[in-house]
């Protein structure tokens, strides 16, 4: 099979905001506790309670931004429960996620310590559903003020003299659902009120992000843009990739057949049209594209692994999830003029995770490797392109076999995905730059569609050098194996 790509470079093409490679960590299942936080007395190597192995793995992704503390948890979180001496913090019930005890040992100071260890920006999501305006105002003051004021003094008393930087603040989460079951008109008014008190203290410039739509709900986007756009820097969008787009998700992450393979990839490709539809609504109100689309929850949502707490959303992660991630990044790049941030759900042990942990052990998932391979796209200028590809079809469902994207930084980076699990594809790239050669090429693939990493075999799926790339008559030709993701560096 063959596919053709033709670069159509343009100086006015947008740049991929590095934050599109952002993450999300919620107090849910084993994401925060065990996954990131083990406590200072743990035998698991840690820095001030935060796991060293996980931080090292995530740092290698150039993780730009981390959203916390939820998710649904955010609208029940009262930040003052999570400050001060840990033994005196109240234990609460995590009503959303598994009904487990939340001891509040990971709070504001621990989150900002994590961000500092990761070298990433903080994106805090505030409580609109069950929290007061004053509570939100005080949290921002506690985090960012260097004045002599009650909240800044409280922070100092708790051991932190200097304020932290808080570049992004979310005003509620899923306010149409777990965050309060609101109508968009009601939330738009509430948003305006709460966002007013999310203030800029001491030189900190905080971008206020409004809760956006659930998947297809363009009416929510329309109402928020109409009534509150002047008060926001970003409007979120949540969309999960479910097999067959059915709720609740019932398919296994690692036990599936070819029908489920193509079904999930087709669902992932649907993100393109979804962003397009919301972007058109935003364009109507904001043709200058001042308000960013912040896709702050995305990723695959499968049935939980057998024998695990259904409220913990723990799922394995296969080569199929890696293809879903690659497809999403290509779509985010295509909409780089509007999409300013995206946060995969979630970083560790929950949904489409980067790493999984089991006591002291940790593994990198196939999705992790896509983030690692694609990090070179962060901050790159998109190279528009024409892609001609045959379809891959199975059981009456068909999708384009090849998905691709290219960006330019100091070099040109081309990422490719072959969605066909049965046939390789030869991709000819007409760059229009005859001097370009192949500096590096890597591929992520495996012999089985269901291939995944386990604690006994943590490297079953990991990138390898792609040796089948060559220059031929001013073209770059890459022979991609079946079911693969590749990244080429051309220089
Ligand atoms: O990521 C899991 C949950 O999915 C989040 O808490 C919520 O915002 C969404 O429904």
Per-residue model confidence (pLDDT) at position 136: 98
Give the residue, by CA position, lying nearest to ligand 1 atom 5: 71
pLDDT average, residue stretch 359-383: 98
| Strand partners of residue 358 | 361
Per-residue model confidence (pLDDT) at position 21: 98
Q: Is the pLDDT of residue 1 over 90?
A: no
Give the residue, by CA position, lying nearest to ligand 1 atom 9: 71
CATH of domain 17-378: 3.20.20.80
Task: List, for residues 187-199, the tens digit of each pLDDT value.
Answer: 999 999 999 999 9
Give the residue, by CA position, lying nearest to ligand 1 atom 8: 71
Q: Is the pLDDT of residue 108 over 80?
A: yes
451 pocket-lining for ligand 1 (C-beta < 6 Å): no
31 pocket-lining for ligand 1 (C-beta < 6 Å): no
407 pocket-lining for ligand 1 (C-beta < 6 Å): no
354 CA from centroid of ligand 1 (Å): 17
238 CA from centroid of ligand 1 (Å): 9
Among the listed residues 483, 454, 445, the one whose alpha carbon sits nearest the alpha carbon of residue 262: 483
Q: Is the pLDDT of residue 62 over 80?
A: yes
| Strand partners of residue 124 | 68, 169
236 pocket-lining for ligand 1 (C-beta < 6 Å): no
72 pocket-lining for ligand 1 (C-beta < 6 Å): yes
Q: Choose one of 125, 213, 297, 302 to mutate for the ligand 1 pocket test, by most ligand atoms within 8 angstroms of C-beta.
A: 297
Per-residue model confidence (pLDDT) at position 280: 98
Per-residue model confidence (pLDDT) at position 159: 98
Task: List, for residues 131-149, the tens digit of each pLDDT value.
Answer: 999 999 999 999 999 999 9
Q: Token pair for residue 253?
A: 């992450």
Per-residue model confidence (pLDDT) at position 243: 79
In angstroms, how far is CA 196 from the centroid of its own chain?
Answer: 27
Catalytic-residue membership of 174:
yes
296 pocket-lining for ligand 1 (C-beta < 6 Å): no
Q: Is the pLDDT of residue 259 over 90?
A: yes
71 CA from centroid of ligand 1 (Å): 5
299 pocket-lining for ligand 1 (C-beta < 6 Å): no
Give the residue, by CA position, lying nearest to ligand 1 atom 3: 71
CB crowding 177-204: b at 16 or more within 10 Å, else e: ebbbebebeebbebbbebbebbeebeeb
Give the residue, by CA position, lying nearest to ligand 1 atom 1: 345
71 pocket-lining for ligand 1 (C-beta < 6 Å): yes
Q: How far apart are CA 295 and CA 443, in angstroms?
A: 27
372 pocket-lining for ligand 1 (C-beta < 6 Å): no
Task: List, for residues 292-335, the tens digit of each pLDDT value.
Answer: 999 999 999 999 999 999 999 999 999 999 999 999 999 999 99
pLDDT average, residue stretch 171-177: 98
Indicate the pLDDT class of residue 372, thresholds 50, 70 and 90. very high
Q: Choose one of 29, 72, 73, 313 to mutate for the ligand 1 pocket test, by most ligand atoms within 8 angstroms of C-beta.
A: 72
Give the residue, by CA position, lying nearest to ligand 1 atom 7: 71
Closest ligand 1 atom to the C-alpha of 72?
Answer: 6
Q: Which of 2.40.50.140, 3.30.70.360, 2.40.40.20, 2.60.40.1180 would CATH assign to domain 385-490? A: 2.60.40.1180
431 CA from centroid of ligand 1 (Å): 41
Per-residue model confidence (pLDDT) at position 244: 75
Catalytic-residue membership of 141:
no
174 pocket-lining for ligand 1 (C-beta < 6 Å): yes
Task: List, for residues 441-485, the tens digit of each pLDDT value.
Answer: 999 999 999 999 999 999 999 999 999 999 988 899 999 999 999
Closest ligand 1 atom to the C-alpha of 26?
Answer: 6
Task: List, for residues 428-453, the tens digit of each pLDDT value.
Answer: 999 999 999 999 999 999 999 999 99
242 CA from centroid of ligand 1 (Å): 14
Would you give the end-to-end CA distance of the chain in angstroms? 27
Phi and psi, residue 427, nearest 5°? -105, 120
70 pocket-lining for ligand 1 (C-beta < 6 Å): yes
Per-residue model confidence (pLDDT) at position 245: 75
297 pocket-lining for ligand 1 (C-beta < 6 Å): yes
Residue that is written with structure tokens 């200028």 in the block: 381
Task: List, for residues 37-49, the tens digit of each pLDDT value.
Answer: 999 999 999 999 9
Per-residue model confidence (pLDDT) at position 173: 98
21 CA from centroid of ligand 1 (Å): 18
Among the listed residues 174, 185, 258, 372, the single catalytic one is: 174
For 408, counting Cβ atoms within 10 Å of its Cβ (0-12 exposed, 13-18 middle, 19+ buried), the class is middle
Please state, rounded to an integer, the average pLDDT across all residues of the chain: 97
Q: Is the pLDDT of residue 336 over 80?
A: yes
Q: How far apart are CA 185 and CA 149, in angstroms?
A: 35
Domain ranges of the chain: 17-378, 385-490
pTM score of the predicted model: 0.98
Task: Tell me how many degrees the CA angle 252-256-260 measures, rounded to the nearest 5.
Answer: 100
Among the listed residues 297, 372, 430, 448, the single catalytic one is: 297
């Amino acid at each position: 099979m063959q596919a053709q790509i033709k670069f159509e470079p343009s100086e006015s093409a947008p740049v991929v905001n590095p934050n599109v490679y952002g993450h999300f960590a919620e107090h849910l299942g084993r994401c925060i506790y065990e996954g990131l936080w083990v406590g200072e007395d743990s035998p698991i190597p840690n820095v001030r309670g935060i796991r060293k192995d996980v931080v090292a793995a995530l740092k290698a992704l150039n993780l730009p931004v981390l959203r916390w503390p939820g998710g649904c948890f955010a609208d029940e979180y009262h930040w003052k429960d999570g400050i001060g001496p840990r033994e005196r913090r109240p234990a609460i019930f995590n009503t959303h996620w598994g009904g487990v005890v939340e001891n509040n040992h990971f709070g504001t100071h621990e989150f900002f310590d994590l961000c500092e260890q990761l070298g990433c920006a903080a994106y805090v999501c505030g409580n609109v559903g069950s929290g007061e305006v004053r509570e939100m105002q005080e949290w921002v003051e506690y985090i960012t003020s260097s004045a002599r004021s009650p909240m800044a003094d409280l922070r100092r008393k708790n051991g932190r003299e200097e304020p932290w930087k808080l570049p992004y603040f979310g005003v509620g989460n899923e306010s149409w659902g777990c965050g309060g079951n609101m109508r968009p008109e009601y939330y738009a008014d509430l948003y305006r009120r709460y966002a007013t008190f999310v203030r800029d203290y001491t030189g900190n410039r905080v971008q206020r992000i409004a809760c956006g739509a659930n998947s297809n709900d363009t009416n929510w986007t329309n109402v928020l843009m109409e009534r509150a756009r002047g008060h926001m820097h970003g409007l979120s969008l949540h969309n999960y990739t479910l097999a067959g787009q059915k709720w609740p998700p019932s398919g296994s992450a690692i036990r599936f057949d070819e029908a489920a393979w193509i079904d999930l990839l087709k669902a992932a490709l649907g993100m393109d049209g979804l962003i397009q539809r919301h972007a058109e609504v935003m364009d109507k109100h904001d043709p200058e594209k001042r308000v960013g689309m912040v896709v702050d929850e995305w990723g695959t949502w499968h049935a939980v692994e057998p024998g695990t707490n259904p409220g913990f959303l723990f799922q394995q992660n296969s080569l199929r999830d890696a293809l879903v991630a690659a497809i999403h990044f290509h779509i985010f790049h295509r909409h780089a003029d509007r999409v300013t941030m995206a946060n995969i759900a979630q970083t560790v042990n929950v949904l489409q995770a980067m790493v999984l942990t089991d006591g002291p052990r940790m593994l990198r998932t196939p999705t992790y490797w896509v983030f690692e391979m694609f990090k070179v796209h962060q901050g790159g200028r998109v190279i528009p392109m024409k892609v001609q590809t045959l379809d891959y079809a199975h059981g009456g469902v068909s999708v384009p076999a090849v998905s691709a994207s290219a960006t330019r930084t100091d070099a040109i980076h081309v990422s490719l995905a072959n969605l066909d699990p049965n046939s390789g594809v030869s991709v000819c790239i007409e760059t229009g730059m005859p001097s370009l050669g192949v500096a590096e090429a890597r591929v992520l693939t495996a012999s089985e569609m269901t291939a995944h990493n386990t604690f006994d075999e943590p490297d079953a799926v990991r990138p390898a050098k792609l040796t089948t790339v060559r220059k031929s008559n001013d073209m770059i030709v890459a022979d991609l194996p079946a079911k693969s993701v590749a990244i080429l560096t051309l220089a």
